[in-house]
Every structure is written in C-alpha cells, then in structure tokens.
C-alpha cells in the first residue's frame, strides 16, 4: 500500500542546512502535481528558493503549513492517487513522523584538505560511484558552497568534487600563480593528488575560464565542460563589480556589490553578506583577491580569452547563462555553436543558484552523454 | 572553522599574534602561574584560564607573570614592544589609571604623532558571577570618556577573536573588555587569523519597528528578545556597536531614522553610561524621527549586590528589554 503514497520531505540544500521554512505553497491540497513542477517556496538561513516536486500524483495532504520551520527530511506533504483511502494516508503520516523522530541524522560530509604544491586546498566530496567524477569550480570571490544547490543533485552514482580556489574559502590564501593558467595548473595538481584520471568539469565565471584552460591543457583527461556564466569567452567583464567586491568592507557596500550578481536581489540574504564579510576579513584574502583580479582582469578586461580554441576540443562543451547576467554579458555564449548555448531567462550571474533545476538538468545532460 | 568558546577564541588570537609578531608579549597576574611552586608550569593561565597553554609555547620571556602592582606593569607597557597586559578585573583600574588615561592615551597627541602606544589592556567586567561589588562592574564608560583610548567590547566568540587581533595590531592603546559570564559561550570561529575593524557596528538582527542598541553581553539578551518578539510581529534591529570608542554613530542614526524607535541596553551604571550617550546623540540628531520616547535599560544606580537574588534582579535581563520594546511600540 505504502508504495502508492509518496512523501514530500524537506530537501537539504547544502552543507549548513539543518532546517527550512515553508514560505509558500504554490499548489493546494487536492491539486494534481507533476514531477518537476514548482510546488513550494522554501527559505533557509542562507537562501530562499522554489522547490520542484520529485513526484507525480495528487497532493493529498499538506503536513507542514506556510510559515512553519521544520528540520531537513521532515514531512511537508503527501502525494498519492485518489484511490488511496484517507485512513492509509493518516497511518502513513504517523509512521513517517515516527521514523523521522527516531532517525539519527547522518553527519553532513565535511570538507577535506589536500596539499598541492605545498599549499592546502579545501574541497568537498559528495556522492560515490563508478561513473566519471565531476569537478565544480567556483568564480572570483566565491567558494565551494556556491554549488550547494547543484552538487547533491549531480552526485547520483558518481563522485562530485567542489573545490575552493587558491585564495578562497578554506584554501591557502597565498596564491602561487594567480592567473588562469596558474590556477588551472593548481587544480590539475589536485586531480593528480586525488588520483582522478578523467573528469567532467563545470566552472562558474572565472572558474569557467579555468575549466576551459584545463580542457585545453589535457584534452584527454576532460570528459565534458559546462561553462556557467563563464569567463574566457570574451574580453568584457564588469570591473566595477570586481573592484566593488574587493573594496567592500562594510555590510552595505557588500550588499550593493553582491546584488548585481542576481536577477532577483531579494535572494541576497543577511547570512550571505555576513559570510562574505567574514571571508574577506581573513588574513591574506585581500592580497589574494587583488593578485587574481590583477592577473585575470588586467586593465579592466579579461586577460584570458580562449573562445577561439573551443572548436579544437574533442569533448562536448556547453555554455549556460543567466539572461540578466550583469557581470559577464550573456552574448559571450555566442562563442559556442548554437546547440551548445543555453540562456536561461530571469536569472543573473548566479544562475546556478537562481535556477538550479535547469542548470543541473543541463550539466546532467553532458554527464549522461559520456 | 570549528566551534570555539569565547575563552578559546581569545586564547587563539593571542597565540596567533604572538607567532606572527615577536614583539607581542603578554603580562599579568597569574597569566602563567605557578612560578616558584611545585608541579608543572602553566598551572593557571589567568584567573579563568584564558591564557592557558601560552607559557609552554612562548616561554616565560614572553608570558610574564607580574606582582600585584598594576601601576608598574601597565606603565612598563610603552617600550617598543606590543604588550597585551591583563588587568584581572576592570574594577582594579584605580591602581593603574594614571598610566592609562594620562600617559598611554596622550602620547600620540602630545608628541605630534611621533609616538605610538600599541598596548592592549585585556580586562574582565560584568555582573552575574557572584563576585560582589568590587569584581562585577562595567567600567567601560570611563575609558570611553578618555580621548586617545580605543574601547572594544566583544559580544561573542567570533567577535572576540577578530576584535582582539585588531586591537593587538592597532598602534593605539586599546581597552578590551571580556564579560566573565561569556567565557564558555561557543560559536563557529575561523581557525585562520582575521581582524574586525573598529568603529563599525554589527547589525545582529534586522527589523523595521524598533532599534535596540546593546553592548557586550547585552547583545545576546537583545538578540533573544528580538527573536521572541518576532513571533508577536514586532521586528527589531539589534545593533552591536562592537567598540564604544570609536562609536559607529552613523549606523545607529541610520537605523533609528528608519524605525523611529530606540531602546538602548547597557549593563553599566545608569548615570553617564553608553545608554545616556547614545540616547543624547539620537535626541540631538534624530529627534524628529522618533515616534516614542527613547527607552534606556540599565541596572539601578547602586553597587552590584552580593546577594544572588539581588544580583539577578540588578542585571538588565531579557524581560526588561522586552518590556522596553513593548513600551516604545505602545
């Protein structure tokens, strides 16, 4: 009987998420819903986002009402066919609650450290399996948590690594080689140290240019490249943002800078700003950011434009862009052939946070094609 | 990044700055402890164990135990080193105040900027420890009154490490106040060194109805009240100024102009304390923004009582803060 009843559990978006608040149901009890349909708005201390139903059927019960905050995994609602009697639903909800209460939450994966060229790099590993692993590379000023809405989804049956670039997150703040080629060499060293022979790459912004460089350096090692609002495809870069981010040492200035990353500035949470300010206060971060910006964006332009060399790459390459990107123009996607261009409406530079489902689907297509 | 207590955060800031700069030395009563006594060195690490472990790493040459002569060791701090002196309880400032307010605070000004006094004075303050009138006061308004001194009052473990690192690297004399009820409070604190700039308030909560300005331990109470009142649909901004000198009046002004209501929470005695200072500033600069009289939540104007019942009643607690917020909302 229970296989006809499907639970909707509070999703876990990223490392730090332990609970989420239901800020709005987009469907009502009794509605027919389909897998992939946006049904729920959820807010965590880090981010607010829309959640898509994993199941198709009738939404028979709403268990967690709007405004309620519940732990990850807690029952939000129940999907079942009309034929399932109410008594069965009640029994299911009661049983689910019991197992939830008894379940000891598995400790979330902890980031690990690995030394490359004498300097520690921090990375987070999610998933396992025999399929070719994925390496996720964040952009300038970001860190591995930028992929918190993507990494778990991509980690079905394969290992997905998210790394902190040198000078970022928990990695060493003294950057040996701050240009795109140097950062690519460091990540190559990381793959060597982790004994990863072949890898799918997904890079955001500056991380995209690094992914492209890695693919050019070792084409046989790279199974596919997904470039998300990527650098490396044209000369333009919003230098006011880069400089504003480096200069911002107050909440207000940081908020102004970070809001340009999103099509919907309301996604910029207090915690996001706090975390960025905390990162920027660490010893060595400012010199690292200045060194990387100086090498990668010298004179207010991208130093490393690799667009002309993409045609020679043997592996599939795609560009995914937020149409409202105010950091790197979405027109740079034109560096790819038409079938490899995906411009997503109503999303900005952080398209992988603003529309994770679509970005995950697109990256997933290249992972599946291997 | 890992969870650390207020005590560990302070200890880590001291250790990291001592590793980074050989001129950083610490001195105080029982900082190392156990000298001339039987057993292992480092028996105490200060009265509440804050400096434990530093003496074995850096040796007695950089972790100096001093006699009970605050006037001497505070005075000795202006000699080219970057000393972190511990005044065990802020209540003892009377025996070394000349060196602080008339010497250290004046050197930069009187020598035309040619002299600096990079000394940090760490000191414990605050009531709740059953330590009676002479070991429980909040004397930071006195330091705040003296031009030339900087005054930092951390409200959490993260704040403590960043503000103390900034204090040690600062070329001016800094009074660093540690509430003795906070040493076991824990939160995530980065392992790496970092600094929090002085004179920049932290908005620990943001809401549009009421501005609560609180200092040191009172920030925790204010946060608690803000979280509780949120359920009653009263949205509070909580401002932790972090330093009372320099004081981030811009952030306070901006917030009160938006909310029109101000509650100031200060554990110091109510005459000439930070609450009166902030209230006067807002009355002068944002009077027309105010929708209700300013509320000050402070202890009564008495010594801190030794009776536990009276001491508990003396401390401005969450209930009184919540009542003040409701009063400005009424």
**Strand partners for A75:** A9
Per-residue pLDDT averaged across B91-97, rounded? 89
B residues 170..209 contacting A (CB < 8 A): 190, 192-197, 200, 203, 206
A residues 275..334 contacting B (CB < 8 A): 278, 281-284
Q: Which of B324, B315, B321, B296 is nearest to B138 (CA)?
A: B315
Q: Do A282 and B190 touch (CB under 8 A)?
A: yes
Average pLDDT, chain A: 91
From the list A249, A250, A282, the residue facing B192 with the nearest CB is: A282
| C-beta atoms surrounding A334 within 10 Å | 14
Q: Do B203 and A251 touch (CB under 8 A)?
A: yes
Residue in the structure block whose two tokens are 């620990």: B204
Q: Do B158 and A278 touch (CB under 8 A)?
A: yes
Domains, chain B, ranges and CATH?
A: 2-189 (3.40.50.970), 202-329 (3.40.50.920)
Predicted confidence at residue B40, as pLDDT, reads 60
DSSP state letters, A8-27: EEPP--STT--EEEEEEESS
Residue of B159, B188, B192 best to disrupt the A interface, most CBs of A under 10 A: B192
Q: Which of A38, A103, A52 is nearest to A73 (CA)?
A: A103
Per-residue pLDDT averaged across A228-250, rounded? 96
Residue of A278, A279, A287, A288 best to disrupt the B interface, most CBs of B under 10 A: A278
Determine the Cα–Cα distance for residues B41 and B54; give it in Å rounded to an integer: 11
Say whether residue A270 is in contact with chain B using an 8 A CB cutoff.
Answer: yes
Residue A72 has φ and ψ, to the nearest 5°, of -55, 135
Q: Do B194 and A270 touch (CB under 8 A)?
A: no
pLDDT band at A6 (very low <50, low <70, confident <90, very high): confident
Structure tokens at B139: 């004397």
Determine the Cα–Cα distance for residues B189 and B1; give it in Å rounded to an integer: 6
Say whether residue B13 is in contact with chain A using an 8 A CB cutoff.
Answer: no
Predicted confidence at residue B69, as pLDDT, reads 73
**Strand partners for A226:** A202, A318
Going A328 to A332 to A333 to A336, the CA torsion angle's sign is negative
**The pairing of beta strand B174-179 with beta strand B150-152:** parallel
Per-residue pLDDT averaged across A93-120, rounded? 79
Q: Do A249 and B197 touch (CB under 8 A)?
A: yes
Predicted confidence at residue B288, as pLDDT, reads 97
Per-residue pLDDT averaged across A149-163, rounded? 94
Per-residue pLDDT averaged across A40-59, rounded? 82
Predicted confidence at residue B295, as pLDDT, reads 98
Residue in the structure block whose two tokens are 């509605």: A31
**Strand partners for B202:** B240
Residue of A281, A284, A285, A288 best to disrupt the B interface, most CBs of B under 10 A: A281
CA distances from B303 to A262, A359, B123, B273, B320 (A): 54, 64, 19, 15, 19
| C-beta atoms surrounding B298 within 10 Å | 21
pLDDT tens-digit series, residues A67-79: 888 888 788 999 9
Determine the Cα–Cα distance for residues A276 and A271; give it in Å rounded to an integer: 8
Taking the CA of residue A259 and the nearest CA in chain B, the distance in Å comes to 18
Most confident of A302-306, B115-119, B243-247: B243-247
Residue of B164, B187, B190, B250 best to disrupt the A interface, most CBs of A under 10 A: B190
**Chain B CA closest to residue A171:** B192
Taking the CA of residue B157 and the nearest CA in chain A, the distance in Å comes to 13
CA distances from B1 to A33, A106, A136 (A): 42, 20, 22
From the list A249, A250, A283, the residue facing B192 with the nearest CB is: A283
Q: Are A71 and A10 in contact (CB under 8 A)?
A: yes
Taking the CA of residue A265 and the nearest CA in chain B, the distance in Å comes to 17
Taking the CA of residue A307 and the nearest CA in chain B, the distance in Å comes to 38
Q: Are B221 and B318 in contact (CB under 8 A)?
A: yes
Determine the Cα–Cα distance for residues A318 and A341; give it in Å rounded to an integer: 6
**Strand partners for B89:** B124
Q: Which residues contact B264 (CB under 8 A, 6 or more apart)?
A: B212, B213, B214, B274, B275, B278, B279, B294, B295, B296, B297
Taking the CA of residue B41 and the nearest CA in chain A, the distance in Å comes to 32
DSSP tag of A304? -
From the list B1, B162, B203, the residue facing A281 with the nearest CB is: B162
Q: Are B315 and B128 in contact (CB under 8 A)?
A: yes
Per-residue pLDDT averaged across B58-79, rounded? 77
Give percent of chain B above pLDDT 70: 94
To the query of whether residue B135 is one of the catalytic residues in this protein, the response is yes
Exposed, middle or buried, A52 (CB in 10 Å: 0-12/13-18/19+)?
Answer: middle
pLDDT tens-digit series, residues B218-266: 999 999 999 999 989 999 999 999 999 999 999 999 999 999 999 999 9
Chain B residues within 8 A of A281 when measuring between CB atoms: 162, 194-196
E strand or H helix at A301, and its extent?
A: none
**Strand partners for A71:** A19
**Chain B CA closest to residue A170:** B1
Say which residue, B149 or A36, is predicted with more confidence: B149
Predicted confidence at residue B36, as pLDDT, reads 56
Q: How many CB pairs under 8 A join A and B?
A: 23
Say whether residue B318 is in contact with chain A using an 8 A CB cutoff.
Answer: no
Predicted confidence at residue B77, as pLDDT, reads 63
Taking the CA of residue A303 and the nearest CA in chain B, the distance in Å comes to 31
Quote the radius of gyration of chain A (alpha carbons, Å).
21
From the list B1, B194, B200, the residue facing A283 with the nearest CB is: B194
Determine the Cα–Cα distance for residues A145 and A135; give it in Å rounded to an integer: 13
E strand or H helix at A199, and its extent?
A: strand A199-204
**Chain B CA closest to residue A277:** B196
Taking the CA of residue A159 and the nearest CA in chain B, the distance in Å comes to 24
Determine the Cα–Cα distance for residues A61 and A50; give it in Å rounded to an integer: 19
Lateral strand order in the sheet of A32-33: A5-9, A75-80, A57-62, A32-33
B residues 225..284 contacting A (CB < 8 A): none
Q: Please report the ipTM that was assigned to this predicted complex.
A: 0.87
Rounded to an integer, what is the distance from CA A101 to the centroid of its chain?
30
Predicted confidence at residue A1, as pLDDT, reads 46
How far separated are the first and last CA of chain B, in Å rounded? 43
Residue in the structure block whose two tokens are 């414990």: B124
pLDDT at residue B37 tops 60: no
Chain B residues within 8 A of A250 when measuring between CB atoms: 200
Rounded to an integer, what is the distance from CA A351 to the centroid of its chain?
9
Exposed, middle or buried, B164 (CB in 10 Å: 0-12/13-18/19+)?
Answer: buried
Q: Do A173 and B197 touch (CB under 8 A)?
A: no
pLDDT tens-digit series, residues A183-202: 999 999 999 999 999 999 99
Q: Do B192 and A278 touch (CB under 8 A)?
A: no
Q: Do B190 and A278 touch (CB under 8 A)?
A: yes
Q: Are A41 and A51 in contact (CB under 8 A)?
A: yes
pLDDT band at A16 (very low <50, low <70, confident <90, very high): low
pLDDT band at B68 (very low <50, low <70, confident <90, very high): confident
Q: Which of B330, B311, B328 is nearest to B133 (CA)?
A: B311
pLDDT tens-digit series, residues B130-144: 999 999 999 999 999
Q: Do B192 and A270 touch (CB under 8 A)?
A: no
Task: Tell me, letter by letter, the H, E, C secondary structure of chain B.
Answer: CEEEEHHHHHHHHHHHHHHHCCCEEEEECCCCCCCCCCCCCCCCCCCCCCCCCHHHHHCCCCEEECCCCHHHHHHCCCCCCEEEEEEEEHHHHHHCHHHHHHHHCCHHHHCCCCCCCCCEEEEEECCCCCCCHHHCCCCHHHHHCCCCCEEECCCCHHHHHHHHHHHHHCCCCEEEEEECCCCCCEEEECCCCECCCCCCCEEEECCCCEEEEECCHHHHHHHHHHHHHHCCCCCEEEEECCEEECCCHHHHHHHHHHHCCEEEECCCCCCCCHHHHHHHHHHHHCHHHCCCCCEEECCCCCCCCCCHHHHHHHCCCHHHHHHHHHHHHC
Per-residue pLDDT averaged across A347-359, rounded? 95
| C-beta atoms surrounding B75 within 10 Å | 17
Per-residue pLDDT averaged across A95-118, rounded? 77
Chain B residues within 8 A of A284 when measuring between CB atoms: 192
Chain A residues within 8 A of B197 when measuring between CB atoms: 249
């Amino acid at each position: 009987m229970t296989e006809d009843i499907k639970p909707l559990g509070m999703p876990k978006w990223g490392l730090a998420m332990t609970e989420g608040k239901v800020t709005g149901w987009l469907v009502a009890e009794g509605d027919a819903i389909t897998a992939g349909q946006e049904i729920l708005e959820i807010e965590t201390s880090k981010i607010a986002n829309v959640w898509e139903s994993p199941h198709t059927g009738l939404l028979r019960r709403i268990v967690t009402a709007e405004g309620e905050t519940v732990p990850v995994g807690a029952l939000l609602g129940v999907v079942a066919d009309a034929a399932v009697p109410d008594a069965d639903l009640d029994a299911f909800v009661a049983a689910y609650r019991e197992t939830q209460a008894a379940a000891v939450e598995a400790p979330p994966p902890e980031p690990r450290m690995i030394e490359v060229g004498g300097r520690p790099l921090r990375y987070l590993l999610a998933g396992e399996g025999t399929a070719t692993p994925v390496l996720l590379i964040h952009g300038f000023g970001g860190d591995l948590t930028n992929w918190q809405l993507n990494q778990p989804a991509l980690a079905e049956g394969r290992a997905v690594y998210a790394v902190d670039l040198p000078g970022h997150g928990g990695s060493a703040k003294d950057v040996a080689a701050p240009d795109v080629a140097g950062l690519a060499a460091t990540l190559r060293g990381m793959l060597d140290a982790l004994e990863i022979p072949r890898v799918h790459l997904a890079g955001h912004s500056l991380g995209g240019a690094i992914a492209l460089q890695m693919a050019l350096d070792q084409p046989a090692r790279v199974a596919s490249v997904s470039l998300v609002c990527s650098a490396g495809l044209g000369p333009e870069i919003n230098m006011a943002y880069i400089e504003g981010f480096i200069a911002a040492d107050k909440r207000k200035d940081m908020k102004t800078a970070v809001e340009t990353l999103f099509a919907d500035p309301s996604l910029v949470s207090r915690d996001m700003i706090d975390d960025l300010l905390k990162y920027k206060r660490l010893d060595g971060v400012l010199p690292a950011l200045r060194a990387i910006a100086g090498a990668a964006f010298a004179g207010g332009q991208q130093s490393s434009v690799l667009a002309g060399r993409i045609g020679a790459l043997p592996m599939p390459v795609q560009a995914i862009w937020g149409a409202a990107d105010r950091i790197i123009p979405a027109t740079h996607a034109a560096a790819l052939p038409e079938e490899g261009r995906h411009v997503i409406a109503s999303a900005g530079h952080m398209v992988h946070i603003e529309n994770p489902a679509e970005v995950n689907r697109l990256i997933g297509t290249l992972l599946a094609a291997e | 990044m890992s969870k650390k207590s207020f005590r560990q955060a302070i200890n880590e800031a001291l250790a990291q700055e001592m590793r980074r700069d050989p001129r950083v030395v610490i001195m105080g009563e029982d900082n190392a402890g156990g000298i001339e006594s039987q057993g292992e060195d480092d028996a105490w690490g200060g009265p509440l164990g804050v400096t434990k472990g530093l003496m074995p790493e850096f040796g007695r040459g950089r972790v100096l135990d001093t006699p009970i002569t605050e006037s001497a060791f505070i005075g000795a701090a202006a000699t080219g080193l970057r000393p972190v002196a511990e005044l065990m309880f802020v209540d003892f400032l009377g025996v070394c105040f000349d060196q602080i307010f008339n010497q250290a605070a004046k050197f930069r000004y009187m020598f035309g900027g040619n002299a600096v006094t990079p000394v940090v004075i760490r000191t414990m303050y605050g009531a709740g420890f059953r330590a009676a009138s002479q070991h429980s006061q909040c004397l930071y308004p006195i330091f705040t009154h003296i031009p030339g001194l900087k005054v930092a009052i951390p409200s959490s473990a993260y704040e403590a490490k960043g503000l103390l690192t900034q204090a040690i690297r600062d070329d001016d004399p800094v009074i660093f106040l540690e509430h003795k009820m906070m040493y076991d409070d824990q939160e995530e604190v980065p392992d790496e060194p970092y600094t929090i700039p002085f004179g920049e308030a932290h908005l620990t909560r943001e809401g549009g109805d009421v501005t609560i300005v609180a200092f040191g331990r009172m920030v925790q109470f204010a946060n608690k009240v803000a979280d509780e009142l949120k359920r009653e649909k009263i949205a509070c901004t909580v401002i932790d100024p972090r330093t009372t000198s320099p004081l981030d009046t811009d952030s306070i002004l901006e917030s009160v102009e938006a909310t029109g209501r101000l509650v100031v929470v200060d554990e110091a005695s109510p005459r000439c304390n930070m609450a009166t200072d902030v209230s006067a500033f807002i009355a002068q600069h944002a009077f027309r923004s105010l929708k209700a009289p300013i509320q000050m939540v402070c202890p009564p104007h008495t010594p801190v009582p030794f009776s536990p019942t009276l001491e508990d009643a003396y401390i401005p607690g969450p209930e009184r803060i919540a009542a003040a917020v409701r009063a400005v909302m009424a």
